[in-house]
Amino acid sequence: MSEQHEMRLATKVIHSGQRPDPVTGAVMPSISVASTYAQSSPGVHQGFEYSRVQNPTRYALERMVGGLESAGLSEEEDPGCGGFAFCSGMAAIANIVELIPAGSRIVAMDDLYGGTGRLFTQVLAESRGMRTAYVDLTDPAAFERELTPETKLVWLEAPTNPLLKLVDLPAIAKIARRQAPDAILGCDSTFTSSINMRPLELGFDIAMHSSTKFMNGHSDAVGGLIATNRRDIAERLRFLQMSVGAVLPPFDSYLTLRGIKTLAIRMAKHNESSMRIAKFLDQHAKVERVLYPGLPSHPQHELAKKQLDGFGGIVTIFLKDGLEEARRLLERVRLFALAESLGGVESLVEHPAIMTHASVSPERRAELGISDSLVRFSVGIEDCDDLIADIEQALG
């Protein structure tokens, strides 16, 4: 797949790892629903035995993901070229944690997706004795202090949810390689998609996405994607995918591959409209503060310019009048749907303290800065003037 390195991203989202069907010439893979494949003699087959293990539709998606994230593995090295598809983002993360031994130490970003914190602390701490240290990784010195040589996994998100904190990935990788050479470095890339940032190019071992969000982008399939450029990790993950069995089904693999075909143009629109909406909100009398990596007022704007190819589709605001104002805004919006999730073509808005982050204790929310006046927008690809008019009337 070496020719993929010369392709630009907008071309890769169409062609990476794809080829016409050898029998019919079909330009999209068929949705291959068979659970089993006929063998001509015991053990003699065309590389496909049983659909949990090998599925052509899933492989097509996986090769795409490997290509998009610059995994750089050939199809001979791994049938998904270093890309993997699981039945949810959480299933993908759970399989990644299976790469490290029981009782391991994990160092994770303090502002993590709630479900990931729950998996680490309420499931894996009990079942596998995992110990997770939550650290503010915006501060590499704090990371260095927490990083013991026994650390087996470093896990972060950047930008985080909903505070849009960034992490300097090359700086973290440099410290980790020196101080905990055995640690696997993983980044949950859900908020950037493969278009705005690619962790493997920044020194990480694993990029992971909840494809439920931007990668599929149409709010019609739950899934999780992983890419790795390390052959040893790819081999083990392929074994785990087969053994644990949390695979993405063929129909969802097809939908996700179809969604990715428009990822580059969707992200361009998400990036552009979010920037406009962030600027609009920044000027609004009822808004106390806007958090958006593209605004010079973002505490890590310089890092954002260096590390991101686009500032993303999520805009977070603090309203001046707290919960009451937030409730009014959320009840009055017409185009923005009041809903959890993000990254779809349709615009969504939500209240983290009551909705997505309700499972985070009030004390912890206060520590992180997720207040009752905080509202998070996921900016869709509708006409941006309509979106701004909608927010304007809802705040009015």
Ligand X SMILES: *Cc1c(COP(=O)(O)O)cnc(C)c1O
**Which is the catalytic residue, given 213, 266, 269, 376?**
213
> Does residue 292 have an active-site annotation?
no
Neighbours of 285 (CB within 10 A): 6
Residue 316 sits in the site that holds ligand X (CB under 6 A): no
**Which is the catalytic residue, given 110, 111, 168, 188?**
188
Min separation Cβ 124 and ligand X, Å: 15
Instruction: Lay out the site mask for ligand X across 170-209 (x = CB under 6 A, - = otherwise).
Output: ------------------x-x-------------------
Residue 88 sits in the site that holds ligand X (CB under 6 A): yes
Which residue's CB comes closest to ligand X?
89
Q: Which is nearer to ligand X, 314 or 381 (CB)?
A: 314
Residues 120-139 that bind ligand X (CB under 6 A): none
Min separation Cβ 113 and ligand X, Å: 4
Give the H/E segment covering residue 83: strand 83-86
Residue 352 sits in the site that holds ligand X (CB under 6 A): no
- C-beta separation of 388 from 276 below 8 A: yes
Binding ligand X (rule: CB under 6 A), the pick from 85, 90, 215, 391 is: 90
What are 319's two structure tokens? 């309203």
> Does residue 328 have an active-site annotation?
no
Residue 212 sits in the site that holds ligand X (CB under 6 A): yes
What are 28's two structure tokens? 């999209």
Q: How far apart are CA 270 and CA 167, in angstroms?
A: 21
Paired with 85 in beta bridges are: 225
Question: Of the listed pieces 108-116, 165-173, 258-266, 276-284, which binds ligand X according to CB under 6 A?
Answer: 108-116
Q: Which is nearer to ligand X, 212 or 274 (CB)?
A: 212
User: What radius of gyration do the chain's Cα atoms show?
Assistant: 21
> Does residue 113 have an active-site annotation?
yes
> Does residue 213 have an active-site annotation?
yes
Q: Which is nearer to ligand X, 287 or 375 (CB)?
A: 375
- C-beta separation of 117 from 375 below 8 A: no
Nearest to 188 by CA among 165, 219, 217, 221: 165
Min separation Cβ 93 and ligand X, Å: 7
Nearest to 272 by CA among 162, 157, 387: 387
Report residue 63: phi and psi, to 5°.
-65, -35
Q: How far apart are CA 125 and CA 200, in angstroms?
A: 28
Residue 219 sits in the site that holds ligand X (CB under 6 A): no
Neighbours of 129 (CB within 10 A): 11
Task: Give the interface with ligand X as residue ranges (CB under 6 A).
Answer: 88-90, 113, 115-116, 157, 161, 188, 190, 210, 212-213, 222, 224
Residues with active-site annotation = 52, 113, 188, 213
